């Protein structure tokens, strides 16, 4: 059996996928372009924007499935570096699909609620996308390419993922912990609303998609709508930290480079039906996020 390839293996989602796949004893290779000083045997070098690197990798490993987590995932970075965003988030997906087709691999693409404009809530998988920023635009272009893939493909759209960063980059709940523990003021947007996703739920959904060979688009998120400010407050409550340091701010005052949808939440009926998906409550998600892993 050929291995499963994870790109972006050292990103937030990639680290959790690695952990879960190790536990399940799955045959996989996680890849990154910046390898840590101490590497695990399942972690290999791959720059998916470099054809030579892709040639060598696919010739050697012939992956049975590809979970493409690698991306420029920060909306402001995409807005400020549009050419690079297209290279990494679109052109590289086109190239990867070409390599994947030669191996007839199952192609799983991680996408985002930011393909929608945030004017309607509880979007289904067949809702019409309309991105309001360049990040969402590049992800939508990539989705269009994935949908043309002649073998099994899956698009997993998710929303504001949170959990233990496993030593990698911060997410909203881990950043809240860090800021409050350092007694820093933390300004958090209170005029946008999301249904945040517990990282364990996302990873389980991806692994079920893999197991069931499930084709198509899947919406994966939590089922509680809240603002990032409310998320930070609940995190402070859970950790019993000083929540008076958390200050609400409007997105207009924050003036980020990329516009954000005002409201985004998915209808998750399809995932419940096909993947037996059951989202974790935010309260439990916090508990799991801050419980030390063994
Ligand atoms: N986290 C969320 O809340 C969220 C929400 C919706 C959708 N998503 C999507 O889910 C996926 C995973 O997200 P994430 O949070 O794990 O993102 P992340 O932590 O930013 O990880 C992305 C990884 O991609 C790597 N990468 C970028 N260009 C590369 C290249 N040319 N070759 C090899 N690796 C490269 C990055 O490596 P470097 O560090 O070396 O740049 C980074 O480790 C992304 O597609 C994202 O758009 C995430």
Q: How far is CA 6 from CA 14, 85, 238, 279, in A?
A: 7, 20, 33, 23
What is the DSSP pairing of strand 161-162 with strand 197-198? parallel
pLDDT at 157: 98
Ligand 1 binding pocket includes 129 (Cβ within 6 Å): no
Q: Which atom of ligand 1 is nearest to the CA of 139?
A: 47
Residues in contact with 53: Cβ distance below 8 Å, sequence separation at least 6, in sequence order: 45, 46, 47
Beta bridge partners of 198: 162
pLDDT at 293: 64
Ligand 1 binding pocket includes 11 (Cβ within 6 Å): yes
- Distance, in Å, from the CA atom of 216 to the CA atom of 273, rounded to the nearest integer, reads 14
Ligand 1 binding pocket includes 88 (Cβ within 6 Å): yes
Q: Which two tokens stand for residue 155?
A: 């698009």
pLDDT at 236: 98
Ligand 1 binding pocket includes 8 (Cβ within 6 Å): yes
Give every residue of the chain whose pLDDT is below 50, as ranges.
none
The DSSP call for residue 157 is: E
Task: Map out the domains of the chain as residue ranges.
Answer: 4-169+195-225+262-281
Indicate the pTM of the whole model: 0.97
pLDDT at 79: 97
Cα 71 to ligand 1 centre (Å) = 4
Instruction: For the domain covering 4-169+195-225+262-281, report its CATH number.
Output: 3.40.50.720
Q: Which two tokens stand for residue 14?
A: 């990639």
Mind listing the pLDDT tens digit for each residue in 196-222? 999 999 999 999 999 999 999 999 999
Cβ neighbours, 10 Å, residue 183: 9
């Amino acid at each position: 059996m050929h291995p499963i390839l994870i790109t972006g293996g050292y990103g937030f989602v990639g680290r959790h996928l690695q952990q879960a796949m190790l536990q399940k004893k799955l045959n996989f290779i996680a890849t990154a372009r910046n390898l840590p000083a101490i590497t695990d045997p399942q972690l290999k070098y791959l720059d998916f924007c470099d054809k030579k690197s892709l040639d060598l990798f696919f010739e050697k490993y012939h992956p049975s499935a590809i979970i493409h987590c690698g991306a420029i995932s920060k909306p402001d970075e995409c807005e400020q570096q549009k050419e690079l965003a297209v290279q990494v988030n679109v052109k590289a997906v086109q190239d990867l699909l070409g390599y994947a087709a030669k191996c007839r691999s199952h192609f799983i693409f991680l996408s985002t609620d930011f393909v929608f404009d945030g004017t309607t809530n509880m979007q289904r998988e067949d809702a019409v996308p309309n991105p309001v920023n360049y990040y969402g635009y590049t992800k939508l272009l990539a989705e269009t390419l994935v949908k043309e893939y002649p073998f099994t493909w899956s698009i997993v759209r998710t929303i504001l993922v949170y959990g233990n960063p496993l030593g990698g980059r911060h997410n909203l709940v881990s950043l809240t912990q860090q800021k409050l523990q350092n007694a820093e003021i933390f300004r958090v947007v209170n005029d946008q609303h999301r249904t945040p996703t517990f990282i364990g739920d996302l990873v389980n959904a991806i692994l079920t998609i893999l197991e069931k060979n499930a084709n198509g688009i899947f919406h994966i998120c939590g089922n509680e709508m809240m603002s990032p400010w409310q998320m930070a407050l609940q995190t402070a409550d859970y950790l019993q930290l000083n929540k008076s340091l958390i200050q609400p701010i409007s997105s207009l005052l924050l003036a980020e480079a990329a516009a954000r949808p005002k409201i985004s939440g998915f209808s998750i009926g399809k995932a419940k039906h096909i993947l037996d998906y059951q989202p974790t409550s935010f309260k439990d998600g916090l508990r799991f996020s801050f419980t030390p892993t063994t």
